[in-house]
Structure 1
Amino acid sequence: MKDKHGPGFAAAAGSVSAHTIHTDSAGLETGLTTLPGGAPAYFARPQVGESLPVVLVAEEIFGLHEHIRDVARRLAKLGFFAIAPDYLARYGDPMAAPDIDALRAIAAKVPDTEAMAIFDEALAFATGKGADAARAAVIGFCWGGRIAWLYAAHNRALSACVPWYGRLDGSHTAVQPRWPIDIAGEIDVPTLGLYGGDDPSIPRDVIAQMQDRLAAAGAPAEIIVYDDAPHGFFADYRPSYREREAHDAWGRMRAFLRAQGVG
């Protein structure tokens, strides 16, 4: 499925749901850019306004498809400079991947150090366009939720971090040596985690371990768990979408960003 705003949805995501939200670009400047290291990035910002707060958007494992672009436009409508870099593109095409296993194979190849550098470049691009680096946050969905945690540990000048159902633990490899649960003691960026309690890919006991490690470290972080929500409960284009939980979590994120001086 395609529309005038972007390339459509990833093939592995399946049929697009009737719940899919489409945000227009009226009043916005939107576009694609290529960051210095070669990664593409989609950005959206209000046409009017200076020194805008920045929200870096870490894409799902499905890549820089229409849902992530729409999230960027939603944020821009709220007054943010939103930018979503495609940190997966160098290692495969998530849009064309036939299934979740193929997507995981792409994601597993991406060095964490490279992903962090790409987000540094995305933030620099936004500030080069006049956005306010002193009011910058990172949010991320699915695999991007993992990246959001890692980027908060990498860039401690951020004002806020909001990971949505990002994996907390997994296989430790040469290119991905650490997971959020390993760096809980390094989190000093205010962080709000939004997770589903009915998500077998992120068991409740692992979430509890993460909460314990954050508390032991005195990290300014909270994880909210929606008991009956599955993985991807915010993904309005998929059957996993849960409207009530998604709306509540979005509202909590907005309030959290405001409380941290972002927006």
Structure 2
Amino acid sequence: MANKEIITREVSYAGRACALNAYVAEPAGVEPSPAAIVVQEWWGLNDHIRDITRRLAREGYFAIAPDLYSRQGHRVATEPGGAAQLMGGLKKEDGIADLQTTVEWLRAQKRTHSTRIGITGFCMGGSYALLLPCESREIAAAAPFYGEVPPDEKLKHLGCPVFYAYGENDGWIQRADVDRLAAALKKFDKPGEVKVYAGCSHGFFNDTRTDVHRPAEAKDAWQRVLKLFAENLNAGSGE
């Protein structure tokens, strides 16, 4: 299924508070595809997130990266101070609402297997990629990278299999929370895997950041994402 020819485009659709912009990459052709949402890091909808969206499309997914900073003028940060300001200006409930709107948009597309939606996200996006399937039954597989772990009262409502990737030396997300996630999956009998990558820091998947990128571990994590999606998104054809 890998290395399919793809089509990319910018789209806009009505959100709860404003028009939401998003980047779409999809396999060329007419056959419906399972869908995947890519949730941005705190930097915004930048070229790296677009690249990940294209990678999923080449694997056969109708992939979309919504701009969660649409409410803030579709901005993109290039330095940590600006990124922190943008992330701080995004209320968690607003981010979830805009992701739910994105799910609704996906379900209306003829090119998607609308009931087979996966989600992945990184940093801030990892937080949303784990929280959304606790809030919505629309998500069939979730692959959050080094995101915040919701409280157990949220995790008990987790509605899909999870692959959670974490760097051992992460300075943002606490290891105790990651261990709590692993325990919660067992306690609530939820299918999933928590993988701690030795020697890796926060952001190790981001190949545009030479200070933290770890190619071998990033490749391993990506293969696990693809396996999760293949097992949970590719069966059936929608409704």
By the TM > 0.5 criterion, same fold? Answer: yes
Q: Give the secondary-structure state (helix, strand or coil) at the position aligned to 1:208.
A: helix
For structure 1, the 5+ residue unaligned runs are 1-24, 169-178
- For residue 144 of structure 1, what is the aligned residue in structure 2? 125
- How far does residue 98 in structure 1 lie from its aligned partner after superposition? 5.7
**Conserved in 2, the CA contact under 8 Å of 1:87 and 1:118?**
yes
Normalised TM-score (structure 1): 0.80
Q: Which runs of 4+ in 1 moved over 3 A?
A: 179-182
Q: 2:34 aligns with which of 50, 53, 56?
A: 53
1:257 matched residue in structure 2: 229
State the alpha-carbon separation in 1 of the partners of residues 92 and 147 from structure 2: 14
Query: Structure 2 vs 1, CA of residues 106 and 180 (structure 1 numbering), >3 Å: closer, same or farther?
Result: farther
Q: Give the whole-Å Cα distance in 1 for the aligned partners of 2:42 and 2:234.
A: 26
What is the CA–CA distance in structure 1 between the aligned matches of 2:214 and 2:52, rounded to whole Å? Answer: 16
Paired position in structure 2 for 1:91: 72
Deviations 1:77-96 (A, max 9, x none): 1110000001123236552x
- The letter of the residue matching 1:193 is Y
CA contact (8 A) 1:54 1:262 kept: no
Give the letter aligned to residue 164 of structure 1: F
Q: CA deviation at 1:134?
A: 1.8
The answer as to 2:8 corresponding to 1:27 is: no
Q: Secondary structure at the match of 1:232?
A: coil
Instruction: Determine which of 73, 78, 86 is the counterpart of 2:54.
Output: 73
Q: Partner letter of residue 166 of structure 1?
A: G
The structure richer in strand per residue is 2
Q: Which moved more, 1:104-113 or 1:252-261?
A: 104-113
Q: Which moved more, 1:198-207 or 1:134-143?
A: 198-207
**Distance between the aligned counterparts of 2:156 and 2:5, measured in 1?**
41
The corresponding residue for 2:103 is 123
The number of aligned residues is 228
- RMSD over aligned CA atoms reads 2.0
Q: What are the superposed Cα offsets for residues 131-160 of structure 1, whole Å, 9 maximum, x if unpaired?
A: 111211111111000011111112223210
